[in-house]
Structure 1
Amino acid sequence: MVSDRNLSRGHRWAFVALLLGNVALAMGPFLVRHSGVGPVAAGFWRLGLALPLLWLIARYSGQPVHWPRRSLTLLVALAAFFFATDLAAWHAGILLTKLGNATLFGNISSFIFAAWGLWMARRWPTALQGFALLLAAAGCTALMWSSAELSAAHIRGDLLAALAGILYAGYLIIVERTRGELQPLPLLFIASLSGAALLLPWAVLAGETVVPQDWSALIALALCSQVAGQGLIVYALGHVPPLVVGVTMLTQPALSALLGWLYYDERLTALDWAGAAMIVAALILVRLRETPARPK
């Protein structure tokens, strides 16, 4: 487990990597809608197209891909299973609800992962951390509130996205535990390869369109979501506490809602903007150190 003290020493770019990774991942729902293939097939291409570039980056960055010991390989395979099923559920949900909703419900993993980190540390959050979590929860509630009237139309997509969030939390927990023994790029490559091997037969058996007429959205999905997004987040998981990771991930719904407003005319209300502002404020607060009281 990475402590707040360890976070402040070195690895100063880990939090920046975490932020940039979440910005890249926020593009995912938009690209899935333009992929031209089925939701499971989109997940396969996201992982499959990223593999050659991940292998090259790993080789030339001093992290060559290698198969770890058997027990660790099985653990990474389990992480890949969670991630593959997460992608299948989330991509299906994206097509059935608003971009902001899909990302918001998918990011319930943020709270699960943060809670898991606090449980592993065997401590309650500090007053400042607790307030940041409450503020983030209030921001999420505000983002959901405007679409509550339309929940009947979006219920299937919202439930699929929520299921994806639970699965993604399992993936994050396993990855965080394996980062002590495996470098980020080999870990991401093996998980991506295993996940792609699961998703391709799934897409074929489901009768989805697997080969697109236009590859541009799928290539962008692989580069943005898998190489950049997951690559930066897997790196950050080795250095940033789960609580900070969880709150930072909540920036994705606000960014996806903004894309939905820009490209699909998905209306943003004043409450939506307020919710996004609360999440940003929570992110700032969770990064602040509480000043210890001076002895009297």
Structure 2
Amino acid sequence: MTRPAPTSTAPALVAVVVANAALAFGPLFVRLADTGPVAAAFWRMALAVPVLAMIAFATREPAAAAPSRRVWLFVALAGLAFAADLGTWHLGILHTTMANATLLGNSATFLFPLWGFLVTRAWPTRMQGVALLLAAAGAALLMGRSYQLDPKHLAGDLLCIVAGVLYALYFILMSDVRRALAPWPALVLSSLAALLPLLGYALVLGERIVPQHWTPLIALALVCQLLGQGCMIYALGRLSPLVIGLALLIQPVVAATIGWVQFGEALGTPDFVGIAMIAAALVLVRDTRRNAKEPPPANPVPEEMR
């Protein structure tokens, strides 16, 4: 039997905010790394996996059932999708602006909630529709001034759009995996599944694999994979696709702040209005009460499957 859903989603909401704040630092660390962009994605996984495995082992629960073939298949596919996402996005980061990369790379903001509504065969409620419109308008305001439509950025922009679609596919696959596995084992297995594809991708591109300076790569692994993806996979099993999708807009907010502090890209009134609109959208969909039209979160982990 599946356990009842938690009565409060507050821990998951905190987790998804922390996750997106941490993941927003990814483009900065990729640009600071002295390896190729895909090689940086490989090290993000390789350096994080041992720590993730220790956490998964330390937090394991007794009487865990072996994952089914379906779970193994979805883990493998999720790993491949994540490897393709990271490799494509990291390449795009170096061929477009950081603002473009953050905005386009998070196109899963609306793709993942759309999948949630298609699965439940229901239209958004009026409140959810308002939240989606607020989020879209807020994102447009926030990124409108910093987005640069330039032919020299076209290749990078297209790579980031493809990465956003692959990120949505990763979420869809992992939401199924999370029905059977606890967060840490799920993240360990999907990270392992992404390792070899990323290494092969980097070798085919002829990238530099071994760095001279490890600090950016260690930061990428700890901040983005361990903290960012760890919190994201935890939230993925407890929040609806709509909430997860809208929460991805936190990344452009944090990226704009990084640009303000690190690169002197001052925020104006439209930016602050956009941030307020995104926050309002998240408040509108935070309610734990569900109705028949709201896409439910991924099922909590059954006791016998942990």
* TM-score between the two structures when normalised by the length of structure 1: 0.90
Shift of 1:11: 4.9
4+ residue stretches of structure 1 with deviation over 6 A?
64-67
Residue deviations 1:157-216, cap 9 Å, x none?
A: 222111100000000001001211112111111110110111112111211111111101
Rounded to whole Å, the distance in 2 between the matches of 1:172 and 1:265 is 34
Residue pair 2:74, 2:176 contacting (<8 A) in 1 also? no
Shift of 1:289: 7.3
Shift in CA distance, 84/66, structure 1 to aligned 2, threshold 3 Å: farther
Q: 2:43 aligns with which of 42, 45, 55?
A: 45
Q: Does 1:16 align with 2:14?
A: yes
- The 3-state SS of whatever aligns with 1:212 is coil
- Aligned counterpart, 2:167: 168
Residue pair 2:143, 2:252 contacting (<8 A) in 1 also? no
Rounded to whole Å, the distance in 2 between the matches of 1:67 and 1:43 is 29
Rounded to whole Å, the distance in 1 between the matches of 2:128 and 2:167 is 23
Q: How does 1:118-267 map to 2 (within 5 A)?
A: 118-147=117-146, 150-266=149-265
Structure 1: tracts of 5 or more residues without a match = none
Shift of 1:95: 1.5
Residue deviations 1:51-73, cap 9 Å, x none?
A: 10001001111259997333321
Residue deviations 1:214-237, cap 9 Å, x none?
A: 101100100111111111111111
Shift of 1:32: 0.9
Q: How many positions carry a matched residue from both structures?
A: 288
Rounded to whole Å, the distance in 2 between the matches of 1:149 and 1:249 is 21
- Aligned counterpart, 2:303: none
Shift of 1:148: 5.0
Residue pair 2:9, 2:288 contacting (<8 A) in 1 also? no
Rounded to whole Å, the distance in 2 between the matches of 1:47 and 1:206 is 18
- Aligned counterpart, 2:94: 95
- The 3-state SS of whatever aligns with 1:58 is helix
CA RMSD between the two structures: 2.4
Q: How does 1:19-34 map to 2 (within 5 A)?
A: 19-34=17-32
- Aligned counterpart, 2:113: 114
Shift of 1:10: 4.1
- The 3-state SS of whatever aligns with 1:50 is helix
Which segment is superposed worse, 213-222 or 263-272? 263-272
- Aligned counterpart, 1:69: 68
- The 3-state SS of whatever aligns with 1:49 is helix
> Structure 2: which amino acid aligns with 1:180?
R
> Structure 2: which amino acid aligns with 1:16?
V
Rounded to whole Å, the distance in 1 between the matches of 2:97 and 2:284 is 29
> Structure 1: which amino acid aligns with 2:32?
H
Which segment is superposed worse, 268-277 or 86-95? 268-277
> Structure 1: which amino acid aligns with 2:35?
V
- Aligned counterpart, 2:294: none
Rounded to whole Å, the distance in 2 between the matches of 1:231 and 1:206 is 29
Residue deviations 1:77-122, cap 9 Å, x none?
A: 1111110000011111111222222111111101000111122222
Which segment is superposed worse, 52-61 or 144-153? 144-153
Shift in CA distance, 283/12, structure 1 to aligned 2, threshold 3 Å: closer
